[in-house]
Structure 1
Amino acid sequence: MKDSTKIIFLLISLILISSCGKQITETKPIRKNVTETIFASGILVPEDQYNLTSISEGYIKKLNFKEGDIVTTNQLLAVVDNKQNVINAKKSVDLLAIAIANTNLNAPALKQAEVNLELAKQKLLQDQKQTERYKKLYKLNSVSKLEYENIILNLDNSKTNFLSLQENYKLLKQQADQELIIQQSHKKTNLALENYNKIKAIVGGKVYELKKELGDYIRKGDVIAVIGNPEKLYALLSVDESNISKVKLQQQVIIQLNTQLKKNYKGKVTEIYPAFDKQTQSFYCKIEFEDILNFKISGTQLQGNIIIENKNNTLVIPRNYLGYSNKVKLKGGDEIAVEIGFISNDWVEIIHGLDENTVIIADKTK
């Protein structure tokens, strides 16, 4: 009997303990003027931000800036020790000088071709005179037909030789001119490659991040630094793929920096990037500030609420009254599924399933 009493007392104690941990609260749906928003996190990004990239390969032998510096357009920021580019540039200058000399009329090849052409011309003139003389002699029967035909053959050979040397001279001149053009192009290319050893700022701005140090070996395409506009920054928000279809250009956004959680900044959506980030399963939106931003550090984390729609006289319930699978508990213990609209941090829009007279309950842990 005593054992039975102990068991009953233990069960009653467990029920009391369990009931002390929870209390049932009840409410009814109400109508409110509410604002539908989409929450998104992001960071501050400088306007016109770009990566200062190496287009040469070698060791960094000069580094003329540090993080936080303000640099100007075309300012020399770093020098890469690429000796091959220097050697090629010097070689192209020397080859160009030779090419220029070869186009001169006194160049050895052209001079020799000109001499050969002049000799062929004199030979042609001499053979022409000889042919005229033999022609007269042949009419007087002073030379044989064979002798006359041989003289004519010599004249034809002289003409052919003269024309051939004339074309050869033109060809040599043309080749010399072509080589000059080629070497001029090589010089420009190699001087440009040598100039690639000097890394300059494409656009002026602030150095937000330095990724390489003096003496580092870099390859073509390596990022040396990140540069951007020091005065104008924007918010880059990551919007979930399920909500991106609701976001439109020019929508208002309320932004809070993690460094200034008590301050709200107004902004607006100015760009929705088409690329989808598979890693975060989200899209990116650019938000330009309408208020003056008094904290301008790139990479600062932030959160934004994109205002989608202001709704008047909307039926809502507190969010903690909505259960799994969009179900709510009625007073009496029954559960029903409801059709919902937007969900905010505090409220859930009820489209169908409840009215203002329906009493719903929720368990609230003490």
Structure 2
Amino acid sequence: MKVWSFISMVFFLLSCSNKKYSVLPIEQALTEFVYASVTIQPDSLYQVYSSVSGILEFNFVEEGDLIPKNKKLFQITNNTPKLNTQNDKFALDLAQENYNGSATVLASIKDEIEAAKLKYKNDSINYFRQKNLWDQHIGSKVQYDIKKLNYELASNQLKLLRSKFNNTKNELYTAVKRAKNKYQTSSIVTKDFTITSKIGGKVYALYKEPGEIVTSMEPLASIGSATDFIIELLVDEVDIVQIVKTQEVLIHLDAYTDMIFKGKVSKIYPKKDERNQTFTVEAVLVNPPKVLYPGLSGEANIVISKKEKALTIPKEYLIDSNKVKTDDGLVIIETGLQNMEYIEILSGINKDTYIYKLE
């Protein structure tokens, strides 16, 4: 009897010891997230470039300034385009004078045409008079041929001069249009030496100081919205297929350590960044803080699924992603939602099934 009592006590103690490593599934609300890193950027942020080269003469703004649309930002100095504009204006005036002026090439050709008309008229009269005589067998064949030749030459000359007039007119008109286009282009280039803002907002950065060389390859400033900000999320490629627009985003910013901000997915960029194997997703804040700066960083969880009552177990009790250890041995289960700590059980065990952690 004593031996039996001892064995029973040992079995009881072992059972109690095993219970320390067992749990029952529990029902609870479960939310599944996708992790993303966060960077804050102003909405409509863009970099200001110059379309011309030169020397930066003056900055009309400072970093942090609030500016309206079309506000002057920079004045660039370069005398070459101004001289080119003046030369193009002279060329345009000359082309218009050649086309419209009284002493133009066209006026000279018109005078030649008038003279050719008179000659053609005179040679026409002589020819037909001689032709009538010849038809009556009066006069010589030589005189008739001479009159006919003069008439034909005068007719051809008149046609050639008229064609010359039309061709010259078209050439001069084309020259005027080309000169005008060139002058307008150089005028626009001259205007580009005063650079203005394309949007209203805030000046977040200035990259050049007066006296420095400006080219079209380097930005001069960064300008964006002063009030509206977007959240740039970097999502791993294995998770991007689960992201859709309007999903809720829970955001933690390093600058606001004890606060969680809510947002919504607003845009998904389809191109993957090959350097870090991530996709860029944009979100808008639902409850933004009063103060935000470009470049603020943090972390975010994108909510992809929610369930108010889910049968869950701790993920550390899961074996090979689809099994758990029970009193009946290893049991295959079907799983559903999961977060960092818990995973949903769809089938295989129930809320009364003890599961055990492998040691």
TM over 0.5: yes
Check conservation: 2:32, 2:337, Cα contact below 8 A: yes
TM-score (structure 1 length as normaliser): 0.81
d(CA) in 1 for partners of 2:23 and 2:61? 65
Check conservation: 1:255, 1:304, Cα contact below 8 A: yes
CA shift, 1:129, in A, is 3.3
Quickly say closer, same or farther: Cα 1:138–1:243, change in 2 above 3 A. closer
Give the secondary structure class of the aligned counterpart of 1:96. Answer: helix
Task: Answer yes or no: is 1:293 the counterpart of 2:289.
Answer: yes
Please name the residue that 2:272 is paired with.
276
Task: Answer yes or no: is 1:126 the counterpart of 2:122.
Answer: yes
d(CA) in 1 for partners of 2:356 and 2:61? 65
d(CA) in 2 for partners of 1:135 and 1:331? 130
Task: Answer yes or no: is 1:63 the counterpart of 2:59.
Answer: yes
Q: Read off the aligned partner of 2:55 and give its amino acid letter.
A: Y
Task: Answer yes or no: is 1:240 the counterpart of 2:236.
Answer: yes
Please name the residue that 1:347 is paired with.
342
Check conservation: 2:316, 2:357, Cα contact below 8 A: no
Quickly say closer, same or farther: Cα 1:168–1:314, change in 2 above 3 A. same
Please name the residue that 2:195 is paired with.
199
1:282-323 Cα offsets, whole Å, 9 max, x none, are 222221122243122111112222222222443333345557
CA shift, 1:352, in A, is 6.3
Please name the residue that 1:150 is paired with.
146
Task: Answer yes or no: is 1:94 the counterpart of 2:113.
Answer: no
Task: Answer yes or no: is 1:28 the counterpart of 2:23.
Answer: yes
Question: Which residues of 2 match residues 155-174 of structure 1 at below 5 A?
Answer: 155-174=151-170
Check conservation: 2:31, 2:337, Cα contact below 8 A: no
Check conservation: 1:274, 1:283, Cα contact below 8 A: yes
Check conservation: 2:324, 2:333, Cα contact below 8 A: no
Give the secondary structure class of the aligned counterpart of 1:263. Answer: coil
Question: Which residues of 2 match residues 12-51 of structure 1 at below 5 A?
Answer: 26-31=21-26, 32-51=28-47
CA shift, 1:231, in A, is 0.6
Question: Which residues of 2 match residues 247-326 of structure 1 at below 5 A?
Answer: 247-321=243-317, 326=321
**% same residue:** 25
Please name the residue that 1:224 is paired with.
220
Q: Which runs of 5+ in 1 are unaligned?
A: 1-23
d(CA) in 2 for partners of 1:193 and 1:312? 64
- Of 95, 100, 117, the residue aligned with 1:104 is 100
Please name the residue that 2:181 is paired with.
185
Quickly say closer, same or farther: Cα 1:327–1:135, change in 2 above 3 A. closer
Quickly say closer, same or farther: Cα 1:90–1:336, change in 2 above 3 A. farther
d(CA) in 2 for partners of 1:142 and 1:87? 74
Check conservation: 1:59, 1:215, Cα contact below 8 A: yes
d(CA) in 2 for partners of 1:107 and 1:288? 69
CA shift, 1:271, in A, is 1.7
Q: Read off the aligned partner of 1:296 and give its amino acid letter.
A: L
Matched positions, count? 338
Check conservation: 2:31, 2:338, Cα contact below 8 A: no
TM-score (structure 2 length as normaliser): 0.83
d(CA) in 1 for partners of 2:358 and 2:48? 57
Please name the residue that 1:14 is paired with.
none
d(CA) in 2 for partners of 1:352 and 1:73? 61
CA shift, 1:336, in A, is 8.6
1:163-190 Cα offsets, whole Å, 9 max, x none, are 2112211221121111111212222222
CA shift, 1:88, in A, is 2.8
Q: Which runs of 5+ in 2 are unaligned?
A: 1-18
Give the secondary structure class of the aligned counterpart of 2:259. Answer: strand
Give the secondary structure class of the aligned counterpart of 1:260. Answer: coil
Check conservation: 1:328, 1:360, Cα contact below 8 A: no
Q: Read off the aligned partner of 2:52 and give its amino acid letter.
A: S
Please name the residue that 2:205 is paired with.
209
Quickly say closer, same or farther: Cα 1:342–1:86, change in 2 above 3 A. farther
Quickly say closer, same or farther: Cα 1:94–1:106, change in 2 above 3 A. same
Quickly say closer, same or farther: Cα 1:55–1:335, change in 2 above 3 A. farther
Q: Read off the aligned partner of 1:126 and give its amino acid letter.
A: N
1:203-252 Cα offsets, whole Å, 9 max, x none, are 11111222333333333243222211101112111111212222222122
Give the secondary structure class of the aligned counterpart of 1:103. Answer: helix
1:75-123 Cα offsets, whole Å, 9 max, x none, are 2211333444333322221111111111115133122212222221222
Please name the residue that 2:109 is paired with.
113
d(CA) in 1 for partners of 2:150 and 2:171? 31
Please name the residue that 2:14 is paired with.
none
d(CA) in 2 for partners of 1:326 and 1:84? 72
Let me know the Cα RMSD of the aligned residues.
Answer: 2.9
